[in-house]
């Protein structure tokens, strides 16, 4: 029976109504039927229309004649009962056993013309697991108009139950209109839940007072559940909970899988260790025996090639940590190498090759001063090496010099490939150990796990479900809070696993994380800017760069095209208080920046103290970092009318008005001035990978800066505290999406591939680095490597961290649908098509590689930091 108003309806709208009451006839049939609207009722009755169809014709005819009337008024005038009926469909998932005989559900519909009475529905014999659909009619005394929201309440027959996960609710109106209410949330017994119709809405464009109230209530409720806590000084703040909220916990399948897999792998390795009477490492054959318990194609390749210089160098591009290497045009002062040194297997000098852009540096200075761990009562060792690399004519990255400590001296020799085989191999082992520790704590834990948690908690606290930024980012927070809670309890705690097998465990971990956060820059989180800053735009066979830039471009296009539907002008961004609160909390609790005054445009002195934890001021212990500039609008951080040239590493040089803008990290799309190529163009990143472009790594203006990857960077001045333009928003949202998915995949998924064979990534070294050349023997090398129990612990850990659960969700997957409007849904479809196209390109390229690079294949990149 018809029930929704057809006031001012167009013929196209009437078509849906007529089709419903006459059996959903085709458009052609409808055109013929519409011509008969003026025919006598008896004529229709003679041709066999049922009574309900007859009523439909009467209603449509009268609405055409009197468009000011509502359907209910037409029904009333026709002498029919005004009651109308909606069809409700609830899509649910049972993830845990339910011991209840039945579940009682109460639903209330609210529309522009009124509210329905609560309607109860009882469901018997629900399945223990799996998804289900519940359909039932909901009768109203009058037409509710356009549906705005629904209220859900659940009641259980026994006290032993689990929350009931709702995917979505669909309501079909009497004229066939479908209203979709995305939920994707667990519903507990005895509570009221309000859910909006799926259309995304900015807060300043909200007009309905009731919806505004629901929006504000949701934020307040979420802030009670998702609080901030200081875990350790100098680290990003985390969720204030020992157990994450129910919607943040693993699925039963994933929880069991992790538990069983971890226990089984540890048992196999431990059994092999004891059955072979292994304790102290005697030779590398013992490590091979352990690896064979879980040998993969890639780990076997690495076991067979780890000693080769070409493979050693390639890992700085396509290994687990492609984040340290940078191009240099002058040598660091603390590296005891002369620029007239002749390159191995070449007649050119180091100076000549630097001028050609063929010399690169990996500087681990950030590890200098980090206290090494003590494991099983034995002191461990962690070096801070400098590694010089040369790109040869085959485009191979070859190591040409290694200095194991930062301060030059007679007890700190520089090792070369021409030294004895054992000397050179041991030097490379210390480098691989340093890279392991820096990778795990800085580039893996801090830059993906901890930042992803900050993004997620701030999202939950400040952006309601109806907000478009919430809808676009929520899938990138899946399982992040649960995995980080477990990490704090089991992995990085004082007596956690990390302390048991790594050189940087214990106090050193806190020191290194603090130094890493203070050195972190916004541009280093955005791969186009990061590649440009490190001068790597034209480096060939750099698959992290090639795949990463393409992925960034695809993501940025999706974000820009989708959010532009809601943010039409820059003022829409400025006026979005929820959005500004989101970025403000990220800045304060993630990057430990001081808060701004209420008038940010005037806050250019940076003298205000950091207020830290806004929820719990007593816990604010991170306020000692000075604020070094206006981070809201970097373009304004120059004197007079001079343009901003983008040198964020050395702002004192951003004062010449005639220089072209080569590195605008706030708005790369506008980087069109000057003749210098821009390798970080997010709109067309493929152009950043052509070999004909000169390197643009900011090595001319500040040579010293280009030699060290982790110079102290006080205050994180690049990190925004506010959004002033759409482009700033699009870039930041892309960064969050990329960090939580692609970047985490790049530094996490291959851990067992590269670290399963322990000599390729020793988690610790048990002897101090050599102080003389010519003294290293094979026994010296074995003695310096970790003992078997440490190796076993490390192999089990990296295996678990590398695994993907069977219910994992990957970039092209949109299992949970949050957007309901046609335009955003179309953008999602285009996004998926682009991702699948890139996946095919990567698979095709990998067929020709000895060691395939799969970590940024969209079909293998998980949506979130979930492991």
Two tokens, residue 735:
């960064």
- Please tell me the predicted confidence (pLDDT) of residue 281: 85
User: CA-to-CA distance for 471 and 202, rounded, in angstroms?
Assistant: 12
Mean pLDDT of the chain: 79
* Element of type H or E holding 776: none
| pTM of the full structure | 0.78
> In this structure, are strands 102-111 and 114-115 parallel, antiparallel, or unpaired?
antiparallel
Return the structure tokens found at 620: 């604010």
Q: What is the distance of C-alpha 94 from the center of its chain?
A: 27
Residues 792-821 as b or e (16 or more Cβ within 10 Å = b): bbbbbbbbbbbbebeebbbbbebeebbbbb
Q: Is 551 helix (H, G, I), strand (E, B) or coil?
A: helix
Is residue 359 a known part of a binding site? no
Residue 644 annotated as binding site: no
Q: What is the pLDDT of residue 280?
A: 80
- Tell me the C-alpha to C-alpha distance, in Å, between residue 756 and each of 552, 753, 795: 29, 6, 6
- The span from the CA of 144 to the CA of 678, in Å, is 56
How confident is the model at residue 473, as a pLDDT? Answer: 98
CA–chain centroid gap for 273, Å, is 38
Residue spans of alpha helices (H) in 671-714: none
Percent of the chain scoring above 70 in pLDDT: 70
Query: Between 29 and 584, where is the model more confident?
Result: 584
β-strand pairing of 378-379 with 414-415 = unpaired
| Spatial distance between the Cα atoms of 174 and 72, rounded to a whole number of angstroms | 11
* Section 509-527 average pLDDT: 97
Please say if the pLDDT value at position 282 is more than 80. Answer: yes
The pLDDT tens digits for 453-478 are 999 999 999 999 999 999 999 999 99
Judge whether residue 754 has pLDDT over 60. yes
Structure tokens at 829: 């479809």
Q: What are phi and psi of 63, to 5 degrees?
A: -65, -35
Q: Which two tokens stand for residue 211?
A: 């919806």
Give the mean model confidence (pLDDT) for residues 232-243.
94
- Least confidently predicted of 26-30, 39-43, 312-316, 849-853: 39-43
Q: What is the pLDDT of residue 266?
A: 58
Q: What angle do CA 553, 556, 557 make, to 5 degrees?
A: 85
pLDDT given for residue 672 in this prediction: 37
DSSP state of 349: B
Average pLDDT on 505-532 reads 97
> What confidence score (pLDDT) does residue 129 get?
53
Q: Phi first, then psi: give them for residue 67, nearest 5 degrees.
A: -65, -15
Contact call for residues 109 and 138 (beta carbons, < 8 A): yes
H helical segments located in 786-821: 788-802
Give the pLDDT mean for 738-747.
99
Res. 517: pLDDT tops 80: yes
Q: Region 172-196: what's the mean pLDDT? A: 89
Show the DSSP H helices in 597-680 as ranges. none
Domains and CATH numbers, the chain: 11-77 (no CATH), 84-198 (2.60.60.20)
Rounded to an integer, the average pLDDT of 495-509 is 95
Lowest mean pLDDT, pick from 60-69, 740-749, 815-824? 60-69
What are the structure tokens assigned to 788, written together? 């078997």
Secondary structure of 354-391 as H, E, C letters = HHCCCEEEEECHHHCCCCCCEECCEECECCCCEEEEEE
867 marked ligand binding residue:
yes
| Percent of the chain surpassing pLDDT 90 | 59
Q: Which of 85-94, 641-650, 791-800 has the lowest mean pLDDT?
A: 641-650
Question: Which of the residue ranges 78-82, 566-570, 661-665 would you say has the lowest mean pLDDT?
Answer: 661-665
Cβ(663)–Cβ(700) below 8 Å: no
pLDDT exceeds 60 at position 256: yes
User: Confidence band (pLDDT; 50, 70, 90) for 568?
Assistant: very high
pLDDT of the residue at 728: 98
CA-CA distance, 780 to 315, in Å (whole number)?
Answer: 25
Q: Rounded to whole angstroms, how far apart are CA atoms 729 and 735?
A: 10
> Binning pLDDT at 50, 70 and 90, where does residue 159 land?
low
The residue ranking higher by pLDDT, 586 or 630, is 586
Cα–Cα distance between 412 and 423 in angstroms, integer?
13
Q: Which three-class secondary structure state does DSSP give residue 549?
A: helix
Is the backbone of residue 826 left (phi > 0), alpha (psi -120 to 50) or beta? Answer: alpha
Side-by-side strand order, sheet with 326-327: 326-327, 359-363, 386-391, 397-403, 414-415
pLDDT greater than 50 at residue 498? yes
pLDDT-derived band of residue 253, with 50, 70 and 90 as boundaries? low
> What are all long-range contacts of 663-666, with beta carbons under 8 Å and residues at least 24 apart?
663/523, 663/529, 663/532, 663/533, 663/698, 664/635, 665/522, 665/523, 665/526, 665/529, 665/634, 665/718, 665/731, 666/634, 666/635, 666/720, 666/727, 666/728, 666/731
Ranges 333-342, 350-359, 363-372, 599-608: which has the least confidence: 599-608
Here the tokens at position 543 are 């698959």
Residue 494 token pair: 């004082």
What is the mean predicted confidence (pLDDT) over 800-829?
A: 92
């Amino acid at each position: 029976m018809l029930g929704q108003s057809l006031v001012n309806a167009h013929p196209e709208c009437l078509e849906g109504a007529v089709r419903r009451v006459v059996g959903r006839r085709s458009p052609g049939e409808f055109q013929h039927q519409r011509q008969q609207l003026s025919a006598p009722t008896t004529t229709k009755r003679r041709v066999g229309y049922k009574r309900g169809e007859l009523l439909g014709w009467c209603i449509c005819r009268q609405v055409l004649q009197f468009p000011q009337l509502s359907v209910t008024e037409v029904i009333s005038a026709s002498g029919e009962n005004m009651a109308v009926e909606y069809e409700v469909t609830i899509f649910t998932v049972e993830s845990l056993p339910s011991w209840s005989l039945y579940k009682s559900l109460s639903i209330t519909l609210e529309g522009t013309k009124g509210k329905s009475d609560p309607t109860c529905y009882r469901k018997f014999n629900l399945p223990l697991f799996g998804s289900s659909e519940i359909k039932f009619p909901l009768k109203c005394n009058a037409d509710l108009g356009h549906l705005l929201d629904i209220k859900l309440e659940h009641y259980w027959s026994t006290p032993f139950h689990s929350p009931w996960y709702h995917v979505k609710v669909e309501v079909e109106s009497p004229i066939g209109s479908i209203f979709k209410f995305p939920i994707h949330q667990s519903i507990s017994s005895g509570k009221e839940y309000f859910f909006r119709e799926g259309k995304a809405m900015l807060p300043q464009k909200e007009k309905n007072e009731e919806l505004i109230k629901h929006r504000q209530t949701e934020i307040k409720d979420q802030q009670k559940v998702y609080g901030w806590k200081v875990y350790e000084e100098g680290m990003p703040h985390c969720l204030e909970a020992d157990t994450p909220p129910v919607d943040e916990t693993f699925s039963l399948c994933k929880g069991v899988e992790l538990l069983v897999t971890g226990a089984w792998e540890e048992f196999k390795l431990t059994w092999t260790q004891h059955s072979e009477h292994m304790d102290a490492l005697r030779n590398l054959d013992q490590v091979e025996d352990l690896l064979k318990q879980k040998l993969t194609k890639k780990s076997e390749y690495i076991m067979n090639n780890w000693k080769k210089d070409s493979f050693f160098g390639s890992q700085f591009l396509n290994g687990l940590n492609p984040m340290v290497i940078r191009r240099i045009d002058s040598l660091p002062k603390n590296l005891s190498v002369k620029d007239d040194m002749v390159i191995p297997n070449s007649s050119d000098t180091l100076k000549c090759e630097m001028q050609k852009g063929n010399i690169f540096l990996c500087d681990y200075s950030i590890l200098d001063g980090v206290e090494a761990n003590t494991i099983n009562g034995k002191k461990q060792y962690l070096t801070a090496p400098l590694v010089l690399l040369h790109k040869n004519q085959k485009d191979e990255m070859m190591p040409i010099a290694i200095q194991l400590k930062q301060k030059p001296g007679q007890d700190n020799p520089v090792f070369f490939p021409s030294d004895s085989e054992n000397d050179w191999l041991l030097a490379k082992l210390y480098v691989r150990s340093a890279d392991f520790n820096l990778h795990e704590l800085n580039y893996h834990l801090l830059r993906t796990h901890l930042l992803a948690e900050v993004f997620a908690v701030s999202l939950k606290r400040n952006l309601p479900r109806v907000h478009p930024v919430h809808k676009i980012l929520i899938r990138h927070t899946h399982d992040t809070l649960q995995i980080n809670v477990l990490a704090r309890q089991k992995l990085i705690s004082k007596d956690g696993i990390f302390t048991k097998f790594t050189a940087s465990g214990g106090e050193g971990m806190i020191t290194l994380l603090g130094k890493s956060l203070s050195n972190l820059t916004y541009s280093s989180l955005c791969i186009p800017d990061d590649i440009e800053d490190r001068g790597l735009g034209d480096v060939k066979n750099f698959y992290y760069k090639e795949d990463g830039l393409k992925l960034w471009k695809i993501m940025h296009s999706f974000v820009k095209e989708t959010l532009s539907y809601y943010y039409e002008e820059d003022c829409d961004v400025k006026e979005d208080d929820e959005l500004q609160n989101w970025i403000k909390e990220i800045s304060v609790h993630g990057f430990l920046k001081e808060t701004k005054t209420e008038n940010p445009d005037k806050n250019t002195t940076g003298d205000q103290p950091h207020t830290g934890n806004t929820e719990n001021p007593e816990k604010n212990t991170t306020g000692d970092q000075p604020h070094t500039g206006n981070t809201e609008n970097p373009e304004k951080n120059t004197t007079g009318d001079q343009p901003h040239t983008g040198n964020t590493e050395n702002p004192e040089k951003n004062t010449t008005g005639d220089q072209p803008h080569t590195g605008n990290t706030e708005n790369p799309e506008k980087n069109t001035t000057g003749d210098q190529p821009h390798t970080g163009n997010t709109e067309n990143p493929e152009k950043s990978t052509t070999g004909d472009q000169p390197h643009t790594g900011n090595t001319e203006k500040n040579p010293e800066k280009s030699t060290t990857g982790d110079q102290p960077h006080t205050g994180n001045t690049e990190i925004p505290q506010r959004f002033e333009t759409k482009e700033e928003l699009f870039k930041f949202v892309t960064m969050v999406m990329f960090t939580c998915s692609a970047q985490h995949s790049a530094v996490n998924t291959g851990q067992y591939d590269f670290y399963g064979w322990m000599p390729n990534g020793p988690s610790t070294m048990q002897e101090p680095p050599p102080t003389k050349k010519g003294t290293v023997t094979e026994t010296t090398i074995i003695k310096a490597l970790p003992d078997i129990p440490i190796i076993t612990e490390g192999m089990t850990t990296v295996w678990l961290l590398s695994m993907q659960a069977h219910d994992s969700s990957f970039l092209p997957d949109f299992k949970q649908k949050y957007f309901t409007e046609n335009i955003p849904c179309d953008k999602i479809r285009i996004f998926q098509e682009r991702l699948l196209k890139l996946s095919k390109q990567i698979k095709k390229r990998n067929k020709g590689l000895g060691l395939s690079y799969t970590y940024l294949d969209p079909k293998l990149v998980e949506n979130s930091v979930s492991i």
